[in-house]
Amino acid sequence: MKMCRILVIDDDSESCELLTGCFKAERFETTSVRDGGHGLKLAASAAEQYDLIVLSVTLSGISAFEVLKSLRPQFDTPVVMLTTRDKKVDGIIGLEMGADAFMLKPFNPRELVAYARAILRRTKDHHRRTFIPERISVGDVELDTVTRVAHRCGERLNLTSVEFGFLEMLLRSAGQVITSEQLAEGVLGRTLSAYDRSVSVHVGNLRKKLGHRLGEIERIITVRGQGYIYANPQEHNFMSH
């Protein structure tokens, strides 16, 4: 059975050692580097093929944002960013640039490992069902659950793994409310904590990439206190929410 491979990019030696030890203890094949440039070369190497990247915001040399910008959209490897509480905004910026999630330092090692497992399990679940071809089409958007490729008006969309997961759930429930909790649990593999903006940031990214409107109607409607509705052009009664 192939071991999952994790790349840790963190210039904090104690944090790097802690992360490496935690992942190796859980039988993950782990590589750690303390330089952004070296980390980028490994992450972008076709020969390495990491399953998950843990990227610290505080890097010397090439910044974490430069690493992320260089990786997206050519590579869809899941990325979890680490930042400190006083720089939480950096984590949100990371999400907007294509990171899948962020965690605050100091972090609970078990929580991070559990989070990594949830992300990797989602990836494995996709591979297990690749033999079942399915296309989902709503309005001008079509996605293929086998290749995990989405198109709008025939043009391919550059989506991260999380963005594709969110779009799939929204399209499957088009015309109906899907809660933020359902999106978080179904795609991020975790429950939402207080003041957690992860879902809203990812939905915001989708709006930018898809276009805010579907014809004359709003494409993704925010339902305050509940979640979101993806517009179904064949139905109109949902507009009253």
Look-up: residue for tokens 């440039």?
A: 37
151 strand-pairing partners: 142, 156
Structural domain that includes position 150: 135-240
d(CA 204, CA 199) in angstroms, rounded, equals 8
pLDDT at 235: 65
3-state secondary structure of 198: helix
Q: What is the CATH number of the domain that holds 193?
A: 1.10.10.10
Q: What is the pLDDT of residues 59-76, one digit of tens each?
A: 877 899 999 999 887 888
| CA distances, 17 to each of 21, 25, 34, 47, 126 (Å) | 6, 12, 10, 24, 31
Tokens encoding 22: 């935690």
Residue 23 and residue 113 in one domain: yes
**What is the C-alpha separation between 66 and 225, in angstroms, rounded?**
35
Instruction: Based on the fold, state whether residues 123 and 16 are members of the same structural domain.
Output: yes
**Same domain? 121 vs 148:** no
**How many domains does the structure of the chain reveal?**
2
Can you give the pLDDT at residue 127? 44
Q: Tens of pLDDT along the chain (241 residues)? A: 567 899 999 988 888 888 899 898 888 999 999 989 999 999 988 767 899 999 999 887 789 999 999 988 788 888 999 988 778 788 889 888 888 888 888 888 888 888 788 778 766 554 444 445 588 999 999 999 878 899 999 999 988 888 999 999 999 999 999 999 999 888 887 787 777 888 999 999 999 999 999 888 899 999 998 999 999 887 644 443 3
Residues 118 and 37 in one domain: yes
Q: How far apart are CA 146 and CA 17, in angstroms?
A: 37
Cβ of 169: how many Cβ atoms within 10 Å?
Answer: 16
Residue 195 and residue 114 in one domain = no
Return all residues near 231 (Cβ < 8 A) that are at least 6 apart: 139, 174, 175, 214, 217, 218, 219, 220, 221, 238
Verify that 106 and 10 share a domain, yes or no. Answer: yes
Tell me, what DSSP letter sits at residue 106?
Answer: S
